[in-house]
Amino acid sequence: MNISKYDLLNMILKKSEKNQRKLAALTGLSLGKVNGCLRELIEDGYLNEQLEISEQAQKEAEKQRPRHAVILAAGYGMRMVPINVEVPKGLLEIGGERLIERLIRQLREAGVHQIDVVVGFMKERYEYLIDKWNVRLIFNEEYGRKNNLSSLNKVADRIGNSYILPCDIWCGENPFSGYEWYSWYMMTEEESKDSGVRVNRKRELVRVKAEKSGHRMVGIAYIQDQEADRLKQLLGLYASQRTYDQKFWEEVLFAESKMWIASRIAKEEDVYEINTYEQLREIDSHSGHLQTDILEKIAEVLSCKLEEIQEIQALKKGMTNRSFEFSCRGERYIARIPGEGTDRLINRRQEFEVYEALKGTDICDPVVYISPESGYKITKFIENARPCRKEDKKEVEDCMRYLKAFHDRKLQVGHTFQLFEQIEYYERLRGDYPSDYEDYEETKKKVFELKAYIDRQPKTIALSHIDAVCDNFLLTPEKMYLIDWEYAGMQDVHVDIAMFAIYAMYSKEEVDWLIACYFQGEPSAAVRVKIYCYIAVCGLLWSNWCEYKKTCGIEFGEYSLRQYRYAKEYYRYAKAEMEAE
């Protein structure tokens, strides 16, 4: 039987509708197509002349009845800043009802009571669902570094006559049914630049070229028993390959350029995906979640109303924080929200002290507000700015001159950034988690040997950025800014050169060139060796930092591995130079 006939049977079963014009409107089929399909359904014994469902059709429908659902609720929902700081997306309320509870209720109304919810970020906030709705929670410990393909793979063994859906969908009309006749993926015919999939004339789901728009992907799917084994095998295969760590689960539905399941078309006005603050405001302007601490603080600082804070757009997630851009009364700003675990990494009162010391210097980006308690920060948006490109020698030379000029000011604050103490501190933050590196203790012992040499060397102790990496130098046609001073404190200013080098993941030849750029020529051998020592120490420092962040569910891939390599390699370079001296 073809899909058109199944859709008609489903509408007759679900809505007891027999009017042919109404059936055409409900299914999106032409009236002629409806008439033809109904005749064939009667001939095939699925309907009688009064368009009533036959016993044969009832038996087949019962066999295909949905019995299970998977709700994917593990992700950060990064585009939902600033709301996702306080509540996970699935618990957003629209019209007084939480998104995930509405979906669970709609599933139960369709007769689906076996419901698995895969959780990760703020997993504890979903725990109450176990008692209230009798769902099963499955924790995806990889939620911080993998996309929802890994989440679905966690419950692959239970898939069969199953709905699969995200937690951030609001459906006006119940999209689920007590009867499903085939596997499908739900789309609308709304054009979307964010989608790489279109519904073609045959109602097949096909990939589109990168420069073209697709149709909006709703994210709800139904997988029959017949296709479940294929899906399980593909999920296991893809989940085992790092290439697919950041892929959505829908990737497994494609055989070359076409999905191997059918489409289900929903009306645009019936289904909303709540991905951003603006989308939530559009569908429910009275939602209590629109009033968050950071937005209320912005309104207070800028003396504006909440509704004047507009065009909220999440920026790329940083290594420490989450940030979003917004506009207010024709001006653009950036707000920063501390990320997961940063309360243990950053002393916000010390950061506040640093920005006080920078006032009037025009070195950093224009700060409108910073809180020494919460860590919230609001800065003016810098037009036509971009970070320094580590491979552009002219830009890097300019950055080193800028850094040297900042150091020459010899600004003072009341706290220090102690490298060796911080290594020990980040190590303690790991708690019971041992280092991932087999030779960590040996490497640490060698790096700590360098302390005696460093202590003997002359130093210029002044306010140092500590995180003076290429991404924190913002270039505009008019001037340069050095931003993000969270780790700043009193230290030998030459540490900043080492930090730039290891973040850029420079080779030794590039490191020597960078040092020469800073000094406008070759420094003394002792100074160069001291900077090699700093590279080794800072490599171990950020390696430990990365290992702690990994325990928070955040993975930095090659960056963390390279930092550990810097610790080992530059220990050897420094020791060789010392022996040569």
Helical segments of 430-524, H only: 440-456, 495-504, 508-519
Q: What is the mean pLDDT of residues 88-111?
A: 93
Same domain, yes or no, for 87 and 47? no
Strands 254-255 and 489-492: unpaired
Considering the domain architecture, whether residues 88 and 144 belong to the same structural domain is answered as yes
Model pLDDT for residues 67-81, shown as the tens digit of each residue: 999 999 998 765 666
- For residue 38, being part of any structural domain is answered with yes
Would you say residue 372 lies in a domain? yes
Same domain as 248, residue 210: yes
CA distance 239 to 138: 17
pTM, entire model: 0.65
CATH number for the domain spanning 394: value is 3.90.1200.10
Check residue 502 and give its pLDDT.
97
DSSP helix/strand/coil, 276: coil
Domain-located, residue 286? no
Cα(546)–Cα(443) distance, integer angstroms: 16
Residues 420 and 533 in one domain: yes
Amino acid at 148: N
Query: Is residue 281, in this structure, part of any structural domain at all?
Result: no
- 110 in a domain, yes or no? yes
User: Does residue 283 belong to any structural domain of this protein?
Assistant: no
Distance CA 199, CA 146 (A): 28
Task: Look at residue 78 in the predicted model and tell me its pLDDT.
Answer: 57
198: domain CATH number is: 3.90.550.10
pLDDT of 23 above 60: yes
Residues 387-409: tens digit of each pLDDT: 999 999 999 999 999 999 999 99
Contacts of 542 (CB under 8 A, 6+ apart): 502, 560, 563
Beta bridge partners of 474: 387, 481
Looking at 23, 45, 62, which one is the last position of a domain? 62
Q: Are 347 and 361 in contact (CB under 8 A)?
A: no
Indicate which CATH number applies to the domain containing 345: 3.30.200.20
* Same domain assignment for residues 363 and 309: yes
3 state DSSP class of 473: strand
> What residues make up the domain containing 312?
291-380
Residues 472 and 352 in one domain: no
d(CA 249, CA 252): 6
**Per-residue confidence (pLDDT) for residue 426, from 0 to 100:** 93
Among 327, 352, 380, the domain-final residue is 380
CA dihedral 193, 196, 202, 204 (to 10 degrees): -140
Same domain, 130 and 11: no
Whether residue 280 is contained in a domain is answered as no
Residue 347 contacts by C-beta under 8 Å, 6 or more apart in sequence?
Answer: 415
Q: Report which residue type is found at 246.
A: Q
Same domain, 453 and 508: yes
Both tokens assigned to 463: 């306010």
For residue 79, give the 3-state DSSP assignment: helix
Q: Are residues 88 and 178 in the same domain?
A: yes
The CA radius of gyration of the chain, in Å to the nearest whole number, is 29
Last residue of a domain, one of 380, 404, 424: 380
For residue range 53-67, what is the model confidence (pLDDT) as tens digits?
888 888 888 888 999
54 and 168 housed in the same domain: no
Considering the domain architecture, whether residues 350 and 411 belong to the same structural domain is answered as no
pLDDT for the residue 85: 61
The total number of structural domains in the chain stands at 4
Q: Of residues 349 and 318, which shows the higher confidence score? A: 349
* Domain shared by 445 and 461, yes or no: yes
Q: For residue 516, which amino acid is it?
A: A
